[in-house]
Structure 1
Amino acid sequence: MLNKSNLWGWMLALVFQFLPAPALAQDNLDVAAAGRSVVRVVVVAMEGGVPQGIGTGSGVAVAPDKILTNAHVVSDAAEGEAIIGVVPSEGSKRFTGRLIAYQPQRDLALIELTDGHVEPATIATGPVPDGAAVAAVGYPFSVDRARELGAEGFVTPQAPVKSWGHVSGGQSSQRFDTVLHDAAIGRGNSGGPLVDSCGRVVGINSFVSNSEGVDAVFGFAVSVKEIIPFLRAAGVKPHTTGLPCRTSAEQAAIDERLARSEDERAQAERNRAAYAEERMDARREQVRDRILAERDNGLAVAGLLLVFGVAFVNGALVLLSKDDRRVALGAGAAGLVLMAGAPIAWVARPDLDQADARLAAAAPKASPKTAATAVEGAYACRLDLERSRITISEPRDVTLDWAAPSCEGGAPFAAEDDRWVRAEVSPTEGIALVRRFDPAASRYTVERYLLPADTLAAARALQAKHPAKSCSADGARAAGDMTQALRDLLPPAPNERLVYSCDHVPPAQGS
């Protein structure tokens, strides 16, 4: 692609004006993930097949084979003969490209790769709030020079430089709509993205203010208002999102509030249960008192029956002694009946252990509760936007197809406490997923990790060692092994967390 032996000489021949060295970058996982889409653009001006000079800038992939950059970065290719080289931020290859769209009035250009591909970035189409944190990602030449980067270094994939700042009001350039910010940028950052805290592109860095050595330096980035029409005219449909950026700190505060609310609801439920138990104890005591009274009454009735029965029998004997046989027989029969009723009244007294049975009979029938197990069948899961932290995904509901004992869509899950969990690597995207299904809470969670190329390769190698495919006990064990092994490899926090509230869908009648 390039004549490496002469590359460093051409670089030294260029004359650049430099800004003060950028401050130490405050990095985070989302901006680090955005670096996967950033490239170094190298343009070698040619004349009659002979190299005449070289310039470098930055760019960002807006499709796997399309690189967005500044028009002034590739002006030699637009106005004459030049070779365009594209050096990605990871991997071991560099690519060649050709200019397919060029609008100097917007300072935008589009390069199509003739070989290879780069992970595309996501463009944030919503407004950029004043004061919002942003990061400039690219390859400032001042850093390259300070590192004494040699010829091979310029064409070797390496991580871009990330410098943080804030959006500085709604001021714009007179030539095109821009985002004004104070993130440190310099020569070489041109064409690189300005991203928000979630790693989404909010502009393409174009130029800086002239500080004259005394004033603060501000950067101007071509805004999305210019980028989207430019890409649309070039036939490119980038991945976009209109969701506002919610930082991890903001999400943590929301999670804490929701957890506190859940704890309060749980405590209120415990208080209600304790109050209900107290009322039940009081009612139980009342029922026991009534049972004791009934037992006393039964004892009294039995005693009275026995006393009156004995009296009637004695009276019958007296009547017999006076030869009043007919009345004596009646009295004796009555006495025997009364005496026979005494043990019946005694036995009929209620037992003390009848209190719970009477309470259960008097209590209203409670509807049966669903067991905290994953019922087999389909689940309709609605995305909970408040619990979720979404940076680049499209918010949409999903459906689960759960099969016994622990499979979803044919993929086995492993048991983890009261939940089911599965970790896996996407075969087509540079992401790892950790999926959890909590039947007790009717909650389905998907954590998405945007992985750099080396971590992605290691994760795919792990997945090959732990193939968790069969819906069986062996498949569940393999899913557990894969989950544990992948967790040790993944970054400390996911880039996205999608939380769904699920309802079991009963099968249709006749199905």
Structure 2
Amino acid sequence: MKRLFPALAALLLMAIPAGAQSEPADISAAARGVVRVVIMASDGEAVTPISHGTGFAVTPNRIVTNAHVVRAALQDDTLRIAIVPPDGDSADYARVLAVSEAKDLAIIETTGKLRLPPLTISGVPAGDGAEVSAVGYPMNVDRAQGLDLPDLFRPQPPVKSRGFISGARPSRDVDTLLHTAPIARGNSGGPLLDSCGRVLGVNSFGTSSDDAADAEFSFAVSDKELLPFLKGAGITPAVNALPCQSMAQLDEAERERLANEQAAARARLAERAESDRARRERAMMEAELSVLDDRENGMAIAGLLLLLSLGAGFAAWNLRTREDGGKASRIAGVVAAAALIGALAVWFTRPGIDAIDRRAADALADDGGSGELTPTSATESGAAELTCTIVPSRSRIVSQPPKDLDFAWNSNGCVNGRTQYGFADGKWSRLFVPNSEDAVSVNSFDPATRTFRTDKFALGQSAMARARQARSRYHAPECGSQDAASRLGEMQSGVVALLPTQANERLVYSCRPSDQG
């Protein structure tokens, strides 16, 4: 029987699609907002940790944890709550805003300058068998590392463990999620995340057994309890109910989309070439018939004029001896000369064979074509007022779903008349390194396809400090100034070099002229 469990586990793992697995970058991005919550006592000189748990930010200064994590501080007002972030060098104190003992939930608020990246709540329930990750600060890991109690105040990254949803079930009149991601004492109050790093619940407790053969399970208070609790406290968190797809899935879909577009473009080009070939052949045939007809008519007219010239000349010869002093002869001679000149003019001005190509080209131009089989460019070179709408199928949205955006694009890369975009490697882009958020955004725009895209890179406090330092080394050129696009494209390269190879979030918008509604 013992050998059967590993085999069944292997089969279950094989049955899980690759795209459902958590991407480490997503879990690490969410972990930036996961903190250690330390209950501490102080005698005015020394600080002594009493216990600790985990919490996660739902706003930059408000943190969710378990009620039992802060219970001691609620019962003894001499105890204080310390918040230790996973990165950086700034800890903070916190006060309790709301508590639900029945739901084992609490909200605490930082009292200093510490600001954290909020986690996004999943707006869809977790399905049985879905992969999940627990993030927190288990005490057994601290003990294994030999950490003393004072080390609890030193920023450290939280521990991440992976498991699967085993079902949703009420526990003590609380809606909970049963899962297999290992947790221990200290994990209490930490988030249970889906494969996109969105919060499914708040880890609360686990099973315990003296029998080593028993499987271990953990319980998390579900979002069905968390969201009403937050609403009751006047907090509106970021909620995302869109399907979760991995960046690998998105990249593969994008490659397939581009391949399909290129195949369709080649098919359209071939169809156009065939259509142009047929039009050209028809135009050549009509031009050839027209030229040959004009040549035959010209030759016939020249022949008639030549005969007229010969007849008039013959008459002039015969009339030279008349008694009218040669007047009739001279008239006939003028007629003969004029007819001869007309015959020569008609003969030499009749269309040649080369006129066939010219008439065919003129006919194609009149028909709306240039006569050349050259592809046209879809590049929009002028200014445009655009409205851009998110394309969910091409986007990876792990935070709150975005709204439509409006912007004015100019061919020199000046957006809204004030923001210059850089041009490098054939792409228009603008890099944003905010002071209020620990994430770098790279906006790009393709005028040919009217596609606007935002790639967001979630960084820790240390990495974000380096990005801000690199950004401070240059000033973006004035919008529309001489060589502004190329200069900015080169300036931004220093910050881009600090970014991870893969973004955490990708927003793709399809843009259309604003006057099209």
- Amino acid in structure 1 at the alignment position of 2:163: G
Matched, 1:446 2:442: no
Tell me the equivalent position of 1:6: none
Output the aligned Cα RMSD. Answer: 3.2
In structure 2, runs of 5+ residues without a counterpart are: 1-20, 371-375
Deviates more, 1:401-410 or 1:45-54: 45-54
Matched, 1:158 2:147: no
In the alignment, the residues of structure 1 paired with residue 46 and residue 254 of structure 2 have an alpha-carbon distance, to the nearest angstrom, of: 61
In the alignment, the residues of structure 1 paired with residue 179 and residue 379 of structure 2 have an alpha-carbon distance, to the nearest angstrom, of: 52
TM-score by length of 2: 0.84
* 1:19-63 deviations in Å (ceiling 9; x for gaps): xxxxxx975211111111101111237999999972221110112
Q: 2:143 aligns with which of 103, 127, 145?
A: 145
- Amino acid in structure 1 at the alignment position of 2:97: I
SS in 2 for 1:305: helix
How much does 1:179 deviate?
1.8
Please show how residues 64-83 of structure 1 align to structure 2 within 5 Å: 64-81=60-77, 82-83=79-80
Tell me the equivalent position of 1:255: 254
Tell me the equivalent position of 2:285: 286
Tell me the equivalent position of 2:482: 473
TM-score by length of 1: 0.84
In the alignment, the residues of structure 2 paired with residue 313 and residue 354 of structure 1 have an alpha-carbon distance, to the nearest angstrom, of: 38
- Amino acid in structure 2 at the alignment position of 1:270: L
How much does 1:204 deviate?
0.6
* 1:62-93 deviations in Å (ceiling 9; x for gaps): 12222111112222223334332211111112
SS in 2 for 1:309: helix
Tell me the equivalent position of 2:445: 437
Tell me the equivalent position of 2:307: 308
Matched, 1:496 2:493: no
Task: Report how many aligned residue pairs link the two structures.
Answer: 481
Q: 1:394 aligns with which of 392, 395, 401?
A: 401
- Amino acid in structure 2 at the alignment position of 1:188: G
- Amino acid in structure 2 at the alignment position of 1:68: V
Deviates more, 1:85-94 or 1:301-310: 301-310
Tell me the equivalent position of 2:363: 359
SS in 1 for 2:401: coil
Please show how residues 66-465 of structure 1 align to structure 2 within 5 Å: 66-81=62-77, 82-117=79-114, 118-210=116-208, 212-294=211-293, 296-298=295-297, 300-313=299-312, 315-317=314-316, 319-320=318-319, 335-351=336-352, 352=355, 353-364=357-368, 372-403=379-410, 405-409=412-416, 410-465=418-473
- Amino acid in structure 2 at the alignment position of 1:437: F
How much does 1:313 deviate?
2.9
Distance of aligned partners of 1:49 and 1:213 in 2 relative to their CA distance in 1, 3 Å threshold: farther
Aligned-pair identity (%): 35
In the alignment, the residues of structure 2 paired with residue 467 and residue 48 of structure 1 have an alpha-carbon distance, to the nearest angstrom, of: 48
Q: Is the 8 A contact 2:452 2:508 kept in 1?
A: yes
How much does 1:332 deviate?
6.0
- Amino acid in structure 2 at the alignment position of 1:67: I
Deviates more, 1:167-176 or 1:252-261: 167-176
In the alignment, the residues of structure 1 paired with residue 450 and residue 478 of structure 2 have an alpha-carbon distance, to the nearest angstrom, of: 24
Deviates more, 1:185-194 or 1:168-177: 168-177
SS in 2 for 1:177: strand
In structure 1, runs of 5+ residues without a counterpart are: 1-24
SS in 2 for 1:473: coil
- Amino acid in structure 2 at the alignment position of 1:496: E
Distance of aligned partners of 1:458 and 1:46 in 2 relative to their CA distance in 1, 3 Å threshold: closer
Deviates more, 1:144-153 or 1:51-60: 51-60
How much does 1:432 deviate?
0.9
Q: Is the 8 A contact 2:29 2:459 kept in 1?
A: yes
In the alignment, the residues of structure 2 paired with residue 87 and residue 363 of structure 1 have an alpha-carbon distance, to the nearest angstrom, of: 74
In the alignment, the residues of structure 1 paired with residue 31 and residue 437 of structure 2 have an alpha-carbon distance, to the nearest angstrom, of: 15
In the alignment, the residues of structure 2 paired with residue 270 and residue 128 of structure 1 have an alpha-carbon distance, to the nearest angstrom, of: 47
- Amino acid in structure 2 at the alignment position of 1:305: L
Deviates more, 1:337-346 or 1:419-428: 337-346
* 1:343-369 deviations in Å (ceiling 9; x for gaps): 232244235242344323540479xx8
